Amino acid sequence: MTDFAARAVALDDADPLAHCRDLFVPSPDVVAYLDGNSLGRPLRVTSGRVTSFIENGWGGRLIRGWDDASDPDSADPDIAGPAAVGDWLTLGERIGDDLGRIALGAAPGQATIGDSTSVLLYKLVRAALDLRPDRHEIVVARDDFPTDRFVVEGIAAERGVTLRWAAGADEAAHALSDRTALVLLSHVAYRSGALADAAATTAGAHAAGALAIWDLCHSVGVVPIALDAWGVDLAVGCTYKYLNGGPGSPAFAYVAERHQGAFGQPIQGWLGSAAPFAMGQGYRPADGIRRVLSGTPPVIASLALRDTLALLDEVGTDAVRAKSEALTAFAVELVDALLPEAGLATPRDPARRGSHLTIDHPAFPELVPRLWERGVIPDFRTPTGIRLGLSPLSTSFAELELGVRAIREELHASAV
C-alpha cells in the first residue's frame, strides 16, 4: 500500500498541471475531493472578480450595465484576464464564443449560456422535432441522466411522438429508422463514465436522416470535443461540473449555424426576440444564437466559469485530457488492488471513458456517510455505486490514493 502512496507522490511530482491545484480555494476539512464531476471547486481568483462585479459592475453601473460596455472592472489592476464583463446583455454570447473556441470545437456565434441544462434540453429537443416535422420518434438511452429521460418523456406526451430506448449511447444506432427525428445522448454517461463515439453516432444519425443532440455535462472541460468537425446539430451541457461555474451556474446550448434560421423557440420571451427594447407586438425571433434565450440571463452566476475557461485556454485541453487519462488509469489500478470485492462499472480502456469511475458494492450506501465524515468526498449513485470524479485541474494522485485507501478501510471496518 505504501507502494501506491509513493507512486502517487511520484505521479504528482511529474504532473505538468500540478501547479493548478494551488489556484483553487482550499477546503480545510476535506482530505480527498472526488466529486469535481458533480460540483467543481472554486478558483481563488473568482472571489475577487465576483466581489468587484458586485461593487463596481452592479453597484457602480446599476441598470446601465445591461447595455453599457464600458467596464469599470477592466480598470482594476488586480483583476486581470477575463474580468471585463462588458455589457451584461451580450455576456452569454461572448462566454459562448470563448466556450466554443476553448472547449467545444465550435466556431463563434453557435453557443450561449442561459437556463439550466434541463430547460435548455427541453428547448433544443422541441426545436429539433420541428426541424424534422414528418418524423415521430426520438432515440434516447435508458441509462441516461434522469433529466434527459424526463424531458423527452414529457415532450413525447406533449407532442405525440414515440420514444425508442437504446441500452446506451453506443447502441443508439440500432434504434434508428426513417421515423427517427432525433437522437439525444450523453457524451459521457453520468453513471458508468463510458465515453460515446460522438462523431460516428452523429454520422449514423445523419445517414438515417435524423438530428443528433449531445448532452456534454460530463465531458465539457475534460474530454476533447469537436462539435463543428463532428457535424453535431445541437448540444447542451452544464458549467458547474468540470467548468467550476459554481452551484446553479447556467448551462450552455450549441446550435449549429445551419439550423439557426429555422430554430423555433418553444419558450418565446422578450430577450430572444429580434428587438427586445422595442417592446412591440408579436414575437419575432432574434437572428443567430440569441434566439435560444428566453428571459433575463443570470449574470452573477455566469462570472465564475470564465476563470476556468481562462485556465483551460492557458494549459490546453490536451494536457487536461492527458492528466484525466492518467488519473483514471491510476484509479483503476487502485481499485483492482485495494478493492477487489467492488465491481468496476467503467470501461477499462482509457480511450473509452471520461474522467470518472463508478464502482459498486452492496455496502457502499452505508459507507459513503462515513467517508464524508472523514473528509473523503466521493459521490454516491443509487443503488450501490460510488463515483470517483477526477477533475484534472484540481485533483492530485495523492488524494485519489488516499480516497481509495479510505474506502478500503471503511469497507473492512464494516465487514467485521
Ligand X SMILES: *Cc1c(COP(=O)(O)O)cnc(C)c1O
Q: Would you tell me which residues interact with ligand X (CB under 6 A)?
A: 116-118, 145, 147-148, 186, 190, 215, 217-218, 238, 251
56 vs 294 by CB, closer to ligand X:
294
CB of 70 to ligand X, least distance (A): 33
Spatial distance between the Cα atoms of 93 and 308, rounded to a whole number of angstroms: 17
Known catalytic membership, residue 277: no
CB of 239 to ligand X, least distance (A): 9
Catalytic residue from among 71, 98, 215, 233: 215
Task: With H, G, I as helix, E, B as strand and everything else as coil, classify residue 195.
Answer: strand
Known catalytic membership, residue 215: yes
CB of 186 to ligand X, least distance (A): 5
CB of 118 to ligand X, least distance (A): 3
Pairing of strands 376-377, 32-33: parallel
Task: With H, G, I as helix, E, B as strand and everything else as coil, classify residue 192.
Answer: coil
Point out which residues pair with 183 in neighbouring strands. Answer: 139, 212
90 vs 118 by CB, closer to ligand X:
118
74 vs 118 by CB, closer to ligand X:
118
CB of 408 to ligand X, least distance (A): 28
Known catalytic membership, residue 405: no
Secondary-structure breakdown of the chain: helix, strand, coil percentages, each rounded to the nearest 5: 50, 15, 40
DSSP state of 358: E
Compute the Cα dihedral for 159, 165, 171, 177 and give only its sign: negative
216 vs 339 by CB, closer to ligand X:
216
CB of 218 to ligand X, least distance (A): 5
Catalytic residue from among 179, 387, 405, 408: 387
Query: Cα 145 vs. chain centroid, distance in angstroms?
Result: 12
Read off the amino acid at residue 323: K
Catalytic residue from among 123, 241, 323, 381: 241
148 vs 401 by CB, closer to ligand X:
148
- Degrees to nearest 5, angle at CA 174 with 172 and 178: 100
251 vs 357 by CB, closer to ligand X:
251
Catalytic residue from among 190, 240, 242, 397: 240
Spatial distance between the Cα atoms of 395 and 279, rounded to a whole number of angstroms: 49
61 vs 218 by CB, closer to ligand X:
218
Catalytic residue from among 33, 145, 252, 364: 145
Closest residue by Cα to residue 149 from 173, 184, 180: 184
Beta carbons within 10 angstroms of residue 319's beta carbon:
17
Spatial distance between the Cα atoms of 9 and 4, rounded to a whole number of angstroms: 9
Compute the Cα dihedral for 209, 210, 216, 218 and give only its sign: negative
Distances (CA, A) of 38 to 49, 111, 216, 250, 271: 23, 22, 13, 14, 30
Read off the amino acid at residue 349: D
CB of 251 to ligand X, least distance (A): 5
102 vs 216 by CB, closer to ligand X:
216
Q: Tell me if the bond preceding 383 is cis, omega within 30° of 0.
A: yes
CB of 297 to ligand X, least distance (A): 15
Closest residue by Cα to residue 364 from 347, 346, 339: 339
- Burial annotation 215-243 (CB, 10 A radius, 16+ → b, else e): bbbbbbbbbebebbebbbbbbbbbbbbbb
Query: Which residues are designated catalytic?
Result: 145, 215, 240-241, 387
